[in-house]
Amino acid sequence: MEVLRTMFHSILVPVDGSETAWNALEYAKTLGEKFGGTLTVMHVVKPVQTISMNGDVPYVPQNIAELEGIGKSLLQMARDRLAGYPGKIETILEFGNPAGRILFVVRERQFDAVVIGCRGLSGIAEIFLGSVSAAVSQHSPVPVLIVK
Ligand SMILES: Nc1ncnc2c1ncn2[C@@H]1O[C@H](COP(=O)(O)OP(=O)(O)OP(=O)(O)O)[C@@H](O)[C@H]1O
Ligand SMILES: [Mg+2]
Protein backbone atom coordinates (compact mmCIF):
# COMPACT_ATOMS: atom_id res chain seq x y z
CA MET A 1 0.00 0.00 0.00
CA GLU A 2 2.85 2.37 0.89
CA VAL A 3 4.46 1.71 -2.48
CA LEU A 4 1.20 2.49 -4.25
CA ARG A 5 0.84 5.75 -2.35
CA THR A 6 4.09 7.08 -3.74
CA MET A 7 3.16 5.86 -7.22
CA PHE A 8 0.26 8.27 -7.45
CA HIS A 9 1.40 11.10 -5.25
CA SER A 10 1.56 13.57 -8.13
CA ILE A 11 -0.50 13.06 -11.26
CA LEU A 12 -0.45 15.11 -14.45
CA VAL A 13 -3.68 15.27 -16.46
CA PRO A 14 -3.45 16.95 -19.87
CA VAL A 15 -6.86 18.18 -21.07
CA ASP A 16 -8.11 19.56 -24.38
CA GLY A 17 -11.82 19.90 -23.57
CA SER A 18 -12.77 16.59 -25.23
CA GLU A 19 -15.11 14.12 -23.53
CA THR A 20 -12.27 11.59 -23.38
CA ALA A 21 -10.01 14.06 -21.57
CA TRP A 22 -12.76 14.70 -19.01
CA ASN A 23 -12.98 10.91 -18.53
CA ALA A 24 -9.24 10.94 -17.88
CA LEU A 25 -9.72 13.69 -15.29
CA GLU A 26 -12.37 11.56 -13.56
CA TYR A 27 -9.93 8.62 -13.37
CA ALA A 28 -7.16 10.85 -12.07
CA LYS A 29 -9.51 12.29 -9.46
CA THR A 30 -10.40 8.83 -8.17
CA LEU A 31 -6.75 7.72 -8.12
CA GLY A 32 -5.67 10.93 -6.44
CA GLU A 33 -8.38 10.59 -3.79
CA LYS A 34 -7.32 7.02 -3.05
CA PHE A 35 -3.64 7.83 -2.70
CA GLY A 36 -3.75 11.36 -1.35
CA GLY A 37 -2.08 12.91 -4.36
CA THR A 38 -1.69 16.30 -6.00
CA LEU A 39 -3.52 16.69 -9.30
CA THR A 40 -2.00 18.95 -11.93
CA VAL A 41 -4.26 19.73 -14.86
CA MET A 42 -2.47 21.03 -17.95
CA HIS A 43 -3.65 22.59 -21.19
CA VAL A 44 -1.45 23.50 -24.14
CA VAL A 45 -2.63 26.27 -26.43
CA LYS A 46 -1.68 25.57 -30.03
CA PRO A 47 -0.83 28.75 -31.92
CA VAL A 48 -2.60 28.74 -35.28
CA GLN A 49 -0.49 28.76 -38.42
CA THR A 50 -1.44 28.40 -42.08
CA ILE A 51 0.88 28.12 -45.06
CA SER A 52 -0.43 28.12 -48.62
CA MET A 53 1.05 26.10 -51.51
CA ASN A 54 0.96 28.82 -54.17
CA GLY A 55 2.99 31.39 -52.31
CA ASP A 56 0.06 33.46 -51.11
CA VAL A 57 -0.09 33.55 -47.36
CA PRO A 58 -3.76 33.64 -46.36
CA TYR A 59 -4.64 35.79 -43.42
CA VAL A 60 -5.32 33.71 -40.36
CA PRO A 61 -6.30 35.52 -37.18
CA GLN A 62 -3.87 34.55 -34.44
CA ASN A 63 -5.39 36.13 -31.44
CA ILE A 64 -3.19 34.69 -28.73
CA ALA A 65 -5.10 36.61 -26.05
CA GLU A 66 -8.36 34.93 -27.07
CA LEU A 67 -6.73 31.50 -27.25
CA GLU A 68 -5.23 32.07 -23.82
CA GLY A 69 -8.66 33.07 -22.48
CA ILE A 70 -10.21 29.86 -23.82
CA GLY A 71 -7.39 27.84 -22.27
CA LYS A 72 -7.93 29.52 -18.92
CA SER A 73 -11.67 28.81 -18.95
CA LEU A 74 -10.91 25.18 -19.83
CA LEU A 75 -8.71 24.91 -16.75
CA GLN A 76 -11.43 26.57 -14.67
CA MET A 77 -13.90 23.94 -15.96
CA ALA A 78 -11.44 21.30 -14.78
CA ARG A 79 -11.29 22.91 -11.33
CA ASP A 80 -15.11 22.93 -11.21
CA ARG A 81 -15.15 19.22 -12.07
CA LEU A 82 -12.69 18.59 -9.24
CA ALA A 83 -14.84 20.39 -6.67
CA GLY A 84 -14.55 18.64 -3.31
CA TYR A 85 -11.21 17.04 -4.17
CA PRO A 86 -9.42 16.63 -0.83
CA GLY A 87 -5.84 17.04 -2.10
CA LYS A 88 -3.93 19.83 -3.78
CA ILE A 89 -4.93 20.97 -7.29
CA GLU A 90 -2.65 22.85 -9.68
CA THR A 91 -3.16 24.06 -13.24
CA ILE A 92 -0.61 24.73 -15.97
CA LEU A 93 -1.27 26.71 -19.15
CA GLU A 94 1.40 26.36 -21.83
CA PHE A 95 1.81 27.41 -25.46
CA GLY A 96 3.21 25.41 -28.32
CA ASN A 97 3.27 21.80 -29.44
CA PRO A 98 1.01 19.87 -27.01
CA ALA A 99 2.99 16.59 -26.85
CA GLY A 100 6.31 18.45 -26.65
CA ARG A 101 5.17 20.74 -23.86
CA ILE A 102 3.54 17.91 -21.91
CA LEU A 103 6.69 15.76 -22.14
CA PHE A 104 8.87 18.70 -21.11
CA VAL A 105 6.76 19.29 -18.00
CA VAL A 106 6.68 15.56 -17.13
CA ARG A 107 10.49 15.41 -17.24
CA GLU A 108 11.04 18.71 -15.47
CA ARG A 109 8.52 18.21 -12.67
CA GLN A 110 8.95 14.44 -12.24
CA PHE A 111 5.31 13.46 -11.91
CA ASP A 112 4.59 9.94 -10.68
CA ALA A 113 2.12 9.26 -13.48
CA VAL A 114 0.28 10.82 -16.41
CA VAL A 115 -3.43 10.17 -16.97
CA ILE A 116 -4.44 11.11 -20.52
CA GLY A 117 -7.33 10.51 -22.94
CA CYS A 118 -6.81 8.05 -25.81
CA ARG A 119 -8.40 10.51 -28.23
CA GLY A 120 -9.13 14.18 -28.26
CA LEU A 121 -10.91 16.82 -30.23
CA SER A 122 -10.19 15.33 -33.67
CA GLY A 123 -12.42 12.48 -32.56
CA ILE A 124 -11.65 9.98 -35.32
CA ALA A 125 -13.20 6.85 -33.82
CA GLU A 126 -11.20 4.38 -35.95
CA ILE A 127 -7.89 5.51 -34.52
CA PHE A 128 -7.13 4.18 -31.06
CA LEU A 129 -4.56 6.82 -30.11
CA GLY A 130 -4.41 10.46 -31.14
CA SER A 131 -1.02 11.96 -31.94
CA VAL A 132 -0.70 13.62 -28.52
CA SER A 133 -1.50 10.52 -26.45
CA ALA A 134 0.68 8.38 -28.78
CA ALA A 135 3.72 10.64 -28.37
CA VAL A 136 3.24 11.09 -24.62
CA SER A 137 2.82 7.36 -23.94
CA GLN A 138 5.81 6.52 -26.15
CA HIS A 139 8.27 9.03 -24.70
CA SER A 140 7.13 9.59 -21.11
CA PRO A 141 9.69 8.45 -18.50
CA VAL A 142 6.84 7.70 -16.05
CA PRO A 143 3.80 5.41 -16.37
CA VAL A 144 0.95 6.68 -18.55
CA LEU A 145 -2.66 5.63 -18.01
CA ILE A 146 -4.58 5.98 -21.28
CA VAL A 147 -8.28 6.45 -20.62
CA LYS A 148 -10.98 5.64 -23.22
N1 LIG B 1 -3.67 20.81 -26.44
C2 LIG B 1 -3.70 19.87 -25.49
N3 LIG B 1 -3.39 20.20 -24.21
C4 LIG B 1 -3.43 19.26 -23.25
N5 LIG B 1 -3.77 17.99 -23.46
C6 LIG B 1 -4.10 17.59 -24.71
C7 LIG B 1 -4.08 18.51 -25.78
N8 LIG B 1 -4.44 17.85 -26.90
C9 LIG B 1 -4.69 16.58 -26.53
N10 LIG B 1 -4.50 16.41 -25.21
C11 LIG B 1 -4.65 15.16 -24.43
O12 LIG B 1 -4.39 14.07 -25.28
C13 LIG B 1 -5.55 13.23 -25.37
C14 LIG B 1 -5.60 12.64 -26.78
O15 LIG B 1 -5.80 13.70 -27.72
P16 LIG B 1 -5.11 13.70 -29.15
O17 LIG B 1 -4.95 15.14 -29.53
O18 LIG B 1 -3.91 12.82 -29.12
O19 LIG B 1 -6.20 12.98 -30.07
P20 LIG B 1 -7.06 13.55 -31.28
O21 LIG B 1 -7.39 15.00 -31.05
O22 LIG B 1 -8.22 12.61 -31.43
O23 LIG B 1 -6.10 13.38 -32.52
P24 LIG B 1 -5.06 14.42 -33.19
O25 LIG B 1 -4.96 15.65 -32.32
O26 LIG B 1 -3.77 13.65 -33.25
O27 LIG B 1 -5.63 14.71 -34.52
C28 LIG B 1 -6.72 14.11 -24.97
O29 LIG B 1 -7.82 13.35 -24.46
C30 LIG B 1 -6.08 14.97 -23.89
O31 LIG B 1 -6.01 14.24 -22.68
MG1 LIG C 1 -5.94 16.50 -30.72
Domain ranges of the chain: 2-142
* Ligand 2 midpoint to CA 122 (Å): 5
Q: Say yes or no: CB of residue 106 within 6 Å of ligand 1.
A: no
Q: Which of 27, 72, 75, 132 to mutate to test the pocket of ligand 1 (most atoms within 8 A of CB)?
A: 132
Atom of ligand 1 nearest to the CA of 134: 18
pTM: 0.91
Question: With a 6 A CB cut-off, is 24 part of the ligand 1 pocket?
Answer: yes
pLDDT in tens, the chain (148 residues): 555 556 889 999 999 999 999 999 999 999 999 988 999 999 999 877 666 667 776 666 568 888 899 999 999 999 999 999 999 999 999 999 999 999 999 999 989 999 999 999 997 877 789 999 999 999 999 999 999 9
Residue type, 85: Y
**88's torsion region: left (phi>0), alpha (psi -120 to 50) or beta?**
beta
Dihedral sign computed on CA atoms, order 91, 26, 118, 39: positive
The fold of 2-142 is Rossmann fold (3.40.50)
